């Protein structure tokens, strides 16, 4: 028996046969060609075929995992069409008289290395996409078939890394779980695993010798067990049975109200970071979206997303939610979320630095573009806007001035605008302490306990070493939540919680007693909190 730990991507328990997934290696040799023109033509034809494959993959993914996850294949098509990339392949063939396979493989290596060495996490992650498109073209040129087929029985896939195209091509009915050595929690493959709702771990030290053995993936604990001893296996079989039972039981709570035995109600909304997450929002019967982290639009783009691009994304979310409330938070980058094209300076203390609303208020052109897209999308459903990292009344007044001007501008241009609630996140101690003043300015509060805890306890939320000191139940935080909720109610507005603490069921009763009006949590937590609420007196 071997036991390994990894980073949790999606919860659940999977037990089954391990299939070690090996990428088809293309053995590329350097050969000399005499007819350079013919070799360039071979490359162009292979590229064309790769483009067709990518289009087919896009269509398949669109049906199976939705538009936002499918988008990666459009990105691949764009990368493959990149002038510099194509120029480099043609140049190598022409100047070095080498075969197309070799020129493509070399170009792919050097381009992916450039990306891998970039500081920006988004661009770093694109190195694997370059490798993926290169491999696609080289495979065609070598006359090989694509990736390995899955076994007939359902399997746990163990791999060094999985490219999004490989994940999408797998037959979902035969997939029990993913375990990979590489890949981050934000890689496209991780996002796909979440969308498909199968247990997944990344960052696991893997071995090819596990192929064919029995494996257990515990997506709750981040543990992978290979060849479990009889008692361990029996324990996991029990855990899986109770997990399945629990999930089934929770399904019976769909369509039920979030109401305590004495009749107290609370709204239960979902936190999302991507329109792809909408599938699980609907599956878990969320009453609305309490926090849509709009950063994804900027993080997944290599340019400032245009008004139209943003409008389409927001419109899709509000339309999908069919009249249920969708609270979209305006851009919150800086600190741990860096984007190359924003060209932000390196800072000594990024968490206390130039982030979120501070960027929006000093670069109003970015802010206005987002607000225009949001107000335009408001005509298609129930959209609310929430502003992050507020510390003062003055900031809120500046925001209101800009938002008012944007609305007027849109009306003058003939756009229809819906009723839009505008609220703020309470995630700094300053905002909590002056929440009586702030409550007079806005329509709602949403308490961001992740940052509120970081700033109140002076504990960097990114620093794992400080985990033992990170007491999310610290009385200072609980007092703040009570204070903010009371101040909201005194001013006649509502207050919710959208930080991780909102999903802590040991506090659900406390929040109900405090009078918190809404909890916004990961979609997968909705039904268990509903269960807790319905069991509360
Ligand atoms: C928070 O700070 O609690 C929050 C919800 O925002 P984020 O985690 O995106 O900073
Ligand atoms: Mg925050």
Residues carrying CATH 1.10.274.10, the chain: 36-142
Residue 185 has pLDDT above 70, yes or no: no
Q: Is pLDDT of 521 > 60?
A: yes
Residue recorded with tokens 């490798």: 131
Q: Is the beta carbon of 499 within 6 A of some atom in ligand 1? A: yes
Q: Ligand 1 centre and the CA of 481: distance in Å?
A: 15
pLDDT at 195: 62
Residue 177 Cβ inside 6 Å of ligand 1? The answer reads no
Residue range 228-285, pLDDT digits in tens:
999 999 999 999 998 888 888 888 999 999 999 999 999 999 998 878 778 889 989 9
> Given this structure, which CATH class describes domain 252-535?
alpha beta
How far apart are the CA of 79 and the centre of ligand 1, in A?
33
Q: Which ligand is nearest to the CA of 522?
A: 1
* Ligand 1 site, residue 450, Cβ cutoff 6 A: yes
Q: Is 142 a catalytic residue?
A: no
Average pLDDT, the chain: 91
**Which of 76, 188, 360, 525 does the annotation list as catalytic?**
188
Q: Are 28 and 46 in contact (CB under 8 A)?
A: no
Is 489 annotated as catalytic? no
Task: Kindly state the DSSP code that residue 5 receives in the 8-state scheme.
Answer: E
Residues 148-169 have a mean pLDDT of 80
pLDDT tens profile 300-354: 788 999 999 999 999 999 999 999 999 999 999 887 777 888 888 889 898 899 9
Q: How far is the CA of 358 from the centre of ligand 2 (A)?
A: 13
Residue pair 355/333 in contact (Cβ under 8 Å)? The answer is yes
Decide if pLDDT at 184 tops 60. Answer: yes
Contact 309, 296 (CB under 8 A): no
Q: How far apart are CA 338 and CA 347, in angstroms?
A: 11
Protein residue with least CA distance to atom 10, ligand 1: 451
| Nearest Cα residue to atom 6 of ligand 1 | 448
Nearest CA to ligand 1 atom 4: 448
Residue 134 has pLDDT above 60, yes or no: yes
Sequence length of the chain is: 537
Confidence tier at 111 by pLDDT (50, 70, 90): very high
Instruction: Locate all alpha helices (DSSP H) within 268-356, ordered by sequence.
Output: 278-283, 295-299, 307-320
- pLDDT for residue 148 is more than 70: no
CATH code of domain 36-142: 1.10.274.10
Task: Select the more confidently predicted residue: 470 or 438.
Answer: 438
Mean pLDDT over 26-53 rounds to 93
**Which tokens go with 88?**
């480099």
Which residues are in the CB-under-5-Å shell of ion ligand 2? 427, 448, 451
- Owner of token pair 């990666």: 72
CA of 484 to the centre of ligand 2 (A): 16
Report the alpha-carbon angle 49-55-57, nearest 5. 105
Helix (H) or strand (E) holding 74: helix 67-80
Close Cβ partners of 463 (under 8 Å, ≥ 6 residues apart):
none
* Ligand 2 centroid to residue 450 C-alpha, Å: 6
DSSP, collapsed to helix, strand or coil, labels residue 20 as strand
CATH 3.50.30.10, the chain: domain bounds: 2-23+147-249
- Return the residue whose CA atom lies nearest to atom 3 of ligand 1: 448
pTM of whole model > 0.85?
A: no
**Helices (DSSP H) in 153-294: which residue ranges?**
164-169, 188-196, 230-251, 278-283
Per-residue model confidence as pLDDT tens digits over 58-77 = 888 787 777 767 888 888 99
Residue 473 clears pLDDT 70, i.e. is over it: yes
Instruction: Give yes or no for a contact between 334 and 366, defined as CB atoms under 8 angstroms apart.
Output: no
What tokens does 4 get?
């390994």
Cα separation, 176 vs 197, in Å, equals 10
Tell whether ligand 1 has an atom less than 6 A from the beta carbon of residue 132. Answer: no
**3-class SS at 336?**
coil
Class (C level, CATH) for 2-23+147-249: alpha beta
CB distance 487 to ligand 1 below 6 Å: no
């Amino acid at each position: 028996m071997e036991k390994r730990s990894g980073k949790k991507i999606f919860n659940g328990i999977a037990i089954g046969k391990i299939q070690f997934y090996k990428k088809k290696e293309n053995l590329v040799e350097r050969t000399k060609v005499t007819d350079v023109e013919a070799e360039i033509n071979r490359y162009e034809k292979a590229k064309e075929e790769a483009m067709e494959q990518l289009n087919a993959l896009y269509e398949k993914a669109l049906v199976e995992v939705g538009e936002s996850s499918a988008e990666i294949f459009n990105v691949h098509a764009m990368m493959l069409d990149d002038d510099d990339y194509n120029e480099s392949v043609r140049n190598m063939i022409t100047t070095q008289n080498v075969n197309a396979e070799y020129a493509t493989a070399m170009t792919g290596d050097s381009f992916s290395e450039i990306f891998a060495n970039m500081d920006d996490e988004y661009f770093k992650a694109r190195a694997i996409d370059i490798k993926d498109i290169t491999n696609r073209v080289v495979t065609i040129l070598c006359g090989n078939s694509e990736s390995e087929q899955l076994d007939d029985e359902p399997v746990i896939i163990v791999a060094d890394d999985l490219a999004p195209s490989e994940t999408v091509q797998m037959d979902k009915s035969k997939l029990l779980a993913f375990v990979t050595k590489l890949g981050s929690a934000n890689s496209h493959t991780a996002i796909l695993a979440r969308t498909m709702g199968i247990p997944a771990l990344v960052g696991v030290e893997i071995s090819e010798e596990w192929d064919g053995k029995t494996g257990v993936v515990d997506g709750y604990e981040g543990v992978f067990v290979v060849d479990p001893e009889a008692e361990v296996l029996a324990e996991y079989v029990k855990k899986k049975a109770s997990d399945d039972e629990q999930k089934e039981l929770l399904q019976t709570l769909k369509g039920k109200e979030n109401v305590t035995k004495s009749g107290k109600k609370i709204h239960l909304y979902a936190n999302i970071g991507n329109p792809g997450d909408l599938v699980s929002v609907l599956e878990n019967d969320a009453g609305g979206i309490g926090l849509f982290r709009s950063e994804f639009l900027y993080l997944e783009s290599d340019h400032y997303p245009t008004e139209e691009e943003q409008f389409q994304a927001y419109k899709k979310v509000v339309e999908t939610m069919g009249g249920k409330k969708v609270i979209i938070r305006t851009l919150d980058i800086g600190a741990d979320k860096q984007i190359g094209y924003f060209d932000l300076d390196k800072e000594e203390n990024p968490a206390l630095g130039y982030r979120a609303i501070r960027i929006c208020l000093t670069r109003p052109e970015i802010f206005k573009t987002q607000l225009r897209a949001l107000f335009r999308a408001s005509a298609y459903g129930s959209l609310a806007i929430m502003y992050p990292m507020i510390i003062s009344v003055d900031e809120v007044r500046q925001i209101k001035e800009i938002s008012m001007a944007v609305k007027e501008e849109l009306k003058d241009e003939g756009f229809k605008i819906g009723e839009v609630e505008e609220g703020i996140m309470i995630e700094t101690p300053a905002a909590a302490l002056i929440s009586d003043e702030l409550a007079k300015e806005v329509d709602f509060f949403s308490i961001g306990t992740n940052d509120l805890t970081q700033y109140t306890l002076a504990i960097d939320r990114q620093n794992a070493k400080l985990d033992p000191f990170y007491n999310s139940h610290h009385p200072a935080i609980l007092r703040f939540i009570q204070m903010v909720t009371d101040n909201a109610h005194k001013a006649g507005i509502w207050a919710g919680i959208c930080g991780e603490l909102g999903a802590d069921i040991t506090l659900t009763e406390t929040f109900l007693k405090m009078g918190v009006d809404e909890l916004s949590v990961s979609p997968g937590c909705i039904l268990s909190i509903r269960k807790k609420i319905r069991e509360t007196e």
